[in-house]
Structure 1
Amino acid sequence: MKFKTLSFTLIISIISIQHSIFSQEQLTAEQIIRKADEKVRGKTNQSVLEMEIVRPSWKRNISMKSWANGLDYSMTYITAPARDKGQVFMKRETEMWNWMPAIGRMIKIPASMMSQGWMGSDYTNDDILKESSIVVDYNHSIFAEERLEGFDCYKIEMLPKEEAAVIWSKVYKWITKNDFIQIKSEYYDEEDELVKSDFGYDFKVMDGRLIPSRIEIVPAGEEGKKTVLYIKEIKFDIELDKSFFSQQNMKRIR
């Protein structure tokens, strides 16, 4: 009787494992991308970040606070250095704005500036302000399954949809199979040339989620250049109404 009970338990365990593996194999590339994106974004989030811009002959650090609600609303407030403190960048649906308190001006950022480096870094305005979405603006396919940095990963190929206003002709993302952590990306231009790569490091549990706390952006073919983003603090799924993302709030947020 004891043997039968043990055998039954073993069979149930095997079935459960097989079902888990089968369910994972049935995930589409878009579902994998959604899981990875939701993991680092949540429905809403609030974070404290530091950016280090590295060049062959100099370095620069920028500290900031950031808030986001879904894909369409985000705000970033610069806390340091002193010369940039108080600047605010906001995305609200299809509009992009920059508040510059030093000159008392609210500037609308045109789509033509989306490919430019944000605050002189290797992040583009598009990256920081999230005008384009890796979820909705691309068609996704599982290009390969590879082992990278000790992780079994899906390699996802992303090709822009015809109507999408994006700056990349192709993107590859490596996402871990077990935890859906994005550990590498490659971005290509219209000539199919690699423009930059990003890498996730120093995985930590932050507000209950295992995520990379350090992300490095490395331009292709430019030795000695990179941008490092450090996630110091982050809270997910906080109370954050869309009304928070307004021009009035840009001027008074701290």
Structure 2
Amino acid sequence: MKTVTSDAQVSYLLFPWYNKTMMSTKITVISVFLLIVKLIFPQNATEIVRKADAQMRGETMQAEIIIRTVRPTWKREMECKTWMKGSSLAMILIQSPVRDKGIAFLKRKKEVWNWMPALERTIKLPPSMMSQNWMGTDFTNDDLVKESSVVSDYNHTVVGDTIIQKRDCYVIRMVPKPEAAVVWGKVILCIDKKDFLELHSRFYDEDGELINIMNSDEIKQMGGRVIPTRFEMIPTGKKGQKTVMIYKNISYNKPISDDFFRLDNMKTLY
């Protein structure tokens, strides 16, 4: 029986060195092509936002925070302790000043509660209150307790690149999904390409007016990861007004029981 040999088989049998060279060339071409694709089509915008959120939040997070509210004629400082687990559980306890000591906020999934020791009352905050300023600062209730999710409640698009603090950053536009109950009509994020740090944010209302600008800096190793440790929220059109949030210390991924995030636990934290 006659055996039919293809040109490719003959080439391989007669010139094995040539075929190895061609195979190596093909692999090189593919590698270059994949690199070009990566440069032209960067990471998915939602995945970038997810990584930035995870970098700051962790699976669990416990922190001590200083919040300084600055106004043209006065300043105020608060110290808080916060616990977070995933994106659905969070607790904030105010430790000072004395008149506010013991005030606590609890988030469980889409519910947000506030314990007021002076009134001995627990109040459930309606969604309409998420856009209001938290404890007289320039952060909203939603900024602090994160009732909405930057990952699941918005559609994300990479709209450009920029450099902030000598770091290459993605510029990402976030527009709320039709069914999402969120505070902002649009958010622009600048996220560092190397460590996925959110370094600059702009918050717009439903009419497209710029309301708040947030800058993040003092990047350092804390809690076993690189994070910004100072956040400055500046409302537009309000000269001499801002709120600065500083992380004194932070720890990540230490076990926290779901049972910790209970309504009655707010009353006993302090």
Please, what TM-score do these two structures have when normalized by structure 2? Answer: 0.85
Give the 5 Å matches for 1:43-122.
43-122=59-138
> Is the counterpart of residue 203 in structure 1 residue 219 in structure 2?
yes
Distance 2:44 2:166 in 1: 23
Deviation digits for residues 124-161 of structure 1 (CA, Å, limit 9, x no counterpart) = 01111111010110000101011223111100000000
Q: Which runs of 5+ in 2 are unaligned?
A: 1-27
C-alpha displacement of 1:190: 1.3
Alignment partner, residue 242 of structure 1: 258
Distance 1:63 1:31 in 2: 33
Distance 1:199 1:124 in 2: 15
> Is the counterpart of residue 131 in structure 1 residue 147 in structure 2?
yes
C-alpha displacement of 1:20: 11
> Is the counterpart of residue 28 in structure 1 residue 44 in structure 2?
yes
* Percent identity of equivalent pairs: 45
Secondary structure, aligned partner of 2:51: helix
Alignment partner, residue 9 of structure 2: none
1:199 alignment partner AA: N
C-alpha displacement of 1:221: 1.2
C-alpha displacement of 1:25: 5.2
Distance 1:220 1:141 in 2: 24
> Is the counterpart of residue 223 in structure 1 residue 245 in structure 2?
no
Secondary structure, aligned partner of 1:83: helix
Alignment partner, residue 9 of structure 1: none
C-alpha displacement of 1:209: 0.9
Alignment partner, residue 178 of structure 1: 194
Distance 1:21 1:150 in 2: 25
Q: More deviation in 145-154 or 220-229?
A: 145-154
Distance 2:222 2:178 in 1: 37
Distance 1:171 1:185 in 2: 7
Deviation digits for residues 74-121 of structure 1 (CA, Å, limit 9, x no counterpart) = 000000000000111011112111111122111111111111100000
2:233 alignment partner AA: I
C-alpha displacement of 1:24: 10
1:188 alignment partner AA: Y
* Rg larger for: 2
How has the CA–CA distance of structure 1 residues 38 and 206 changed in structure 2, closer, same or farther, with 3 Å as cutoff? same
Distance 1:23 1:137 in 2: 28
Alignment partner, residue 7 of structure 2: none
Alignment partner, residue 4 of structure 1: none
Secondary structure, aligned partner of 1:37: helix
Distance 2:39 2:66 in 1: 38
Name the Cα RMSD after superposition. 2.1
Alignment partner, residue 162 of structure 2: 146
Distance 2:264 2:40 in 1: 45
